[in-house]
Amino acid sequence: MRILSGVQSSGKLHLGNYFGAIKQFIELQDEGEALYFIANLHAMTTVRDGARMRGLTLDAALDFLALGLDPKKATLFRQSDIPEVTELFWYLSAVAPMGLLERAHSYKDKVAKGISSDIGLFTYPVLMAADILLYGSDVVPVGKDQVQHVEMTRDIATKFNLAYVPGYDPKRDENPKTRKIEGILRLPTARVQDQTASVPGVDGQKMSKSYDNTIDLFADDAVTKKKVMSIKSDSTPMESAKDPNANSIHALLSLFANETDLAEINRTYREGGKGYGHYKIQLLDLFHAYFDPARARRKELEGDLAHVESVLKDGAERARKTAGPIIEQCRLAVGMK
């Protein structure tokens, strides 16, 4: 099984990114051939400063390694180190219907939020399709908001296969025994982790760097504390029962708490007796118990950037080897060779 996913280098990692995406990536490195990349080309749709982009790209690599990505098990690389991805992007653009892209929720949401509707933002799902298809990926672990993009990838791959593989029938594309496909491009499947599919931010909306409501993984202790203490609650008195859905505290606690802790939290929510301040301190403690080892590892890695660079370089070489035969087949099919 080939597993592939990417994270945009467009800001600091937060709890939503971790529990919605990165945690699964790291677990999956033991289940198959995993490829993970830093989607710096995608990040260009929002980051327009070269020095900042370079810094954020390196940050993302540090984050991955600190959080437990093992470069011996998984291939970690920069999207932009693989020129074949922009080449495939163009081959796919030539078969991707406008209507398909116009239906993308993510595009519509971003434009609604005020991000300018550049061509790059519009064709973002086609570049994402190129990322996925270039390596013949089977499984794409993503957050819930990216599932539609993986479905679009399947549609675009089907279009390409229909256009360039004589007699291609999407219904009997793959031989279940040999796993051989009749098309050139393999249709991927999205994998979402349901319990944590949407992590709420400090204001109760979905946690997102664009809403300024995040709890970041690698912020200074004081900043983390301030963020946790700023979670929006209400004036339910300490002695009263509390509604776990009234704000994001209960959902955030549930990400970390083990079964016993959670049973106790649920009991006091039902019966009252603990104030929101108490739960926030508990959340902060759980956050540190969970992330402090990674936070320490990240500090160490910051002192050895040459190592990080060599991991990325080696990753890009491995990724290009995987991509080679697939892009070559595409070139032949479209008549560029």
**For binding to ligand TRP (CB under 6 A), which residues are involved?**
4-6, 8, 39, 42, 128, 131-132, 140, 142, 146
Identify what 140 binds: ligand ADP, ligand TRP, none; CB under 5 to 8 Å per kind.
ligand TRP
Q: Which spans of this chain sit near ligand ADP (rule: CB under 6 A)?
A: 7-8, 10, 16-17, 20-21, 142-143, 145-146, 198-199, 206-210
In whole angstroms, the minimum distance from the beta carbon of 234 to ligand ADP comes to 21
In whole angstroms, the minimum distance from the beta carbon of 274 to ligand TRP comes to 36
- In this complex, which beta carbon is closest to ligand ADP, that of residue 34 or of residue 330? 34
- In this complex, which beta carbon is closest to ligand TRP, that of residue 140 or of residue 327? 140
In whole angstroms, the minimum distance from the beta carbon of 211 to ligand ADP comes to 8
Taking CB atoms, the residue at the shortest distance from ligand TRP is 6
- In this complex, which beta carbon is closest to ligand TRP, that of residue 135 or of residue 218? 135
SS (H, E, C) the chain: CEEEEEEECCCCCEHHHHHHHHHHHHHHCCCCEEEEEEEHHHHCCCCCCHHHHHHHHHHHHHHHHHCCCCCCCEEEEEHHHCHHHHHHHHHHHCCCCHHHHHCCHHHHHHHHCCCCCCHHHHCHHHHHHHHHHCCCCCEEECCHHHHHHHHHHHHHHHHHHHHHCCCCCHHHCECCCCCCECCCCCCCEEECCCCCCCCECCCCCECCHHHCCCCECCCCHHHHHHHHHCCCCCCCCCCCCCCCCCCCHHHHHHHHCCHHHHHHHHHHHHHCCCCHHHHHHHHHHHHHHHHHHHHHHHHHHHCCHHHHHHHHHHHHHHHHHHHHHHHHHHHHHHCCC
- In this complex, which beta carbon is closest to ligand TRP, that of residue 40 or of residue 213? 40
- In this complex, which beta carbon is closest to ligand TRP, that of residue 42 or of residue 242? 42
